Structure 1
Amino acid sequence: MKPQETLPTMADDAPGQVAAVRTHTMAAGDLVCVFRPEQGMICTSLKHRGEEILRLVDDMEEAVASGRSVGVPFLYPWSNRLRGTHYEFNGRVVELDPDSPWLLKDWNGILCHGVPWPRLEWSVLEATDRLLRARLPWSRPELLQVFPFEHEVVMSALLDGLGLTIETVIVATGRDRVPVSFGFHPNVGLPGLQRSQWRLSLPPMQGIVLDALLLPVGERTDLPAYDDRLAGLAFDHGFAFVTDKPSMSITGNGRCVSLDFLTGYPFAQIYAQPGMDHIALEPMTAPADALVTGEHLPVVEPGERFSATFRLRVEATDPSLH
């Protein structure tokens, strides 16, 4: 496959017309990945020795229309849920319209995951067979209505023999202080093995106590490390790390898929439901609802920058894996 190709998709502003969406393919060692760099800067495929590791990527047309989390989407300007329909930062109150097509909601009608990823229009800065860099200027009126802080985002995706490393940099380009509350939602699975047989490994963490709407109540509980079968466990929980550069992983059928939290991600969310063939191990720069509570909310001062990096690592644990 060529490093760059175009795929047809429906034009956002012209229903019934077809627009070209550029994809970019990178390859290294046993891994091949595909991005849509200008449409969400989303990774839509990560294959290890020819088998797909990412999940929910079979119907990209529907995913683009709905904005739902597939592959490895960027959750911006906040990840997870917000309590209510407004937040206040630096003396500015931001009112949000829950019915806006520029905002996502969960099944309870709670604002969740910020702006739909297909509406984030990136410009490619560099594209090679191992590296993809793109820039998102936060300048559209619709974006500023949701998050009225002048800045830009630069994302770099590097593929090597270990996995896919994604660095995200927030640059405060104007006079605004910029709150940081983004994350990613990597949906992964193990080919050829039922979910109940996957082995889940988690580091010691603090569990963030949630209410009935899955929003934090301000309490935490200490949790030991976990290393056992996923079995019938269900997750939609937030966690705070207590160690440096932690990792989470699933292992089985000759493979290990890990999420390495390298820098800038002291929090995580895990989403996994029985009956689904995927798990989401989600790096987060701040806990859920941080824009509302202000708790553990990083801030970029004017002229400064914030950087966060994670790695999606895929390894063969069985030498005979073809």
Structure 2
Amino acid sequence: MNAARQEHPSGEQWTIRHGDLEATVVEVGGGLRTLTAGGLDVLAGYGADGMASSGRGQLLMPWPNRLRDGRYRFDGRDQQLALTEPARGNASHGLVRWALWSVLDRSESALTVGYRLHPQQGWSGRLDLSVRYELSAAGLEVSTTVDNVGADRAPFGYGAHPYIALGDTSLSDVVLTVPAVEQVLVDDQRKLPTGAAPVEQDDHDFRRARPLGATRLDTAFTGLSRDDDGRWRVRVGGLVDRPDVSVWGDRSFGWVQVFTDKGEDHGVDGVRGVAVEPLSCPADAFNSGEGLVVLEPGEQWSGQWGLVVHR
């Protein structure tokens, strides 16, 4: 009799390597469980014996962030999604976080996973989702393509949810750079958009690198300055026992969310980290239409984001 295969809460574990960089992608959600450099955690992920908490490393499709009441109207049809954030009455972070993804292609330093999103409660589209993780001397690059393989149009948004590991650094000492001129304002109770404001409001201006201090963020930034390659870059630095890390996004990502709650010095569930989340649209885009992509039958969307470890 063959020995029983070891089962993990996040399913199959797929590891890729380049130099001293190593990443593990998981079957459940197709997300990034770990990223290390020289054995040191770059991402605040989770163990093989656990499951993703607080969105750690997950892929957020076909919408990121929150959707008010789980309701929206598209092409004359009212849709009602399950409320996956019941305390706030929202549908949160899409439909594929807990789905089983498959390997489409694999090499020593790269892995492509895929999933077909079928119609279901509150969702009538049919999309083929493909995500390629690749390690190189430049760091980690994540390339996502989405094909509408159905007969109808489909609304679409995308987000990723990596947390940068802080090690022993106090959250107030973390040095943050966010090249944004505007922030999305949200209400206190449901964290849904109420408007926009300059980053100077509420001390959220991080265009010049500075420590977080007493500032705490659960904030989507936009109006992002880009380098000559078309990418914006958010840098997390000031880390006492590890190098700075930058998260970048290409022109498909007009927003970036920075979330600091899981970086607090005490009382955090899981590894301490600051989330830097590339977003193609802000919260509630299915209702507001802001940043929303509408995929016609046969149409494709693509976007790239990644991480650089500064050593």
Q: In structure 1, which of residues 69, 72, 83 is the aligned counterpart of residue 55 of structure 2?
A: 69
Equivalent position of 2:85 in the other structure: 105
Equivalent position of 2:196 in the other structure: 219
CA–CA distance in structure 1, aligned partners of residues 14 and 140 of structure 2: 14
How far the C-alpha of 1:283 sits from its partner, in A, is 0.6
Q: Give the letter for the 1:9 counterpart.
A: H
Per mean C-alpha deviation after superposition, the further-off stretch among 304-313 and 195-204 is: 195-204
Work out whether 1:43 is the aligned partner of 2:32.
yes
- Please show how residues 244-255 of structure 1 align to structure 2 within 5 Å: 244=226, 245-251=231-237, 252-253=239-240, 254-255=242-243
Equivalent position of 1:188 in the other structure: 164
Q: Which secondary structure state, in structure 2, belongs to the residue aligned with residue 196 of structure 1?
A: helix
- 5+ residue gaps, structure 1, are 1-5, 11-19, 99-103, 317-322
How far the C-alpha of 1:7 sits from its partner, in A, is 4.4
Instruction: Report the aligned-residue RMSD.
Output: 2.1
How far the C-alpha of 1:296 sits from its partner, in A, is 2.3
Cα offsets for 1:135-194 (capped at 9, x unmatched): 21112xxx5224211221111111112211111111011222121212011111233433
Q: Give the letter for the 2:65 counterpart.
A: N
Give aligned-pair identity as a percent. 26
Work out whether 1:307 is the aligned partner of 2:266.
no
How far the C-alpha of 1:60 sits from its partner, in A, is 4.8
| Matched-pair contact (CA < 8 Å) for 1:51–1:191 | no
Equivalent position of 1:136 in the other structure: 115
Q: Give the letter for the 1:240 counterpart.
A: T
How far the C-alpha of 1:198 sits from its partner, in A, is 1.9
How far the C-alpha of 1:93 sits from its partner, in A, is 1.4
- Please show how residues 190-205 of structure 1 align to structure 2 within 5 Å: 190-205=166-181
Equivalent position of 1:86 in the other structure: 71
Equivalent position of 1:291 in the other structure: 286
Work out whether 1:241 is the aligned partner of 2:223.
yes
Equivalent position of 1:16 in the other structure: none
TM-score by length of 2: 0.85
Q: Which secondary structure state, in structure 2, belongs to the residue aligned with residue 263 of structure 1?
A: coil
Q: Give the letter for the 1:155 counterpart.
A: V
| Matched-pair contact (CA < 8 Å) for 1:7–1:22 | no
Work out whether 1:262 is the aligned partner of 2:247.
no
CA–CA distance in structure 2, aligned partners of residues 138 and 308 of structure 1: 18
CA–CA distance in structure 2, aligned partners of residues 260 and 288 of structure 1: 20
* Poorly superposed stretches of 4+, deviation over 4 Å: none
Cα offsets for 1:260-288 (capped at 9, x unmatched): 11231101111102335311001111111
Equivalent position of 2:46 in the other structure: 57
Per mean C-alpha deviation after superposition, the further-off stretch among 284-293 and 211-220 is: 211-220
CA–CA distance in structure 2, aligned partners of residues 238 and 300 of structure 1: 24
CA–CA distance in structure 1, aligned partners of residues 258 and 49 of structure 2: 23
Q: Give the letter for the 1:234 counterpart.
A: R
In structure 2, the CA distance between the partners of 1:121 and 1:163, relative to structure 1 (3 Å rule), is: same
| Matched-pair contact (CA < 8 Å) for 1:40–1:74 | yes
Q: Give the letter for the 1:33 counterpart.
A: A
How far the C-alpha of 1:305 sits from its partner, in A, is 0.3
CA–CA distance in structure 2, aligned partners of residues 68 and 243 of structure 1: 28
CA–CA distance in structure 1, aligned partners of residues 256 and 114 of structure 2: 25
TM-score by length of 1: 0.82
Q: Give the letter for the 2:141 counterpart.
A: T
CA–CA distance in structure 1, aligned partners of residues 68 and 49 of structure 2: 30
- 5+ residue gaps, structure 2, are none
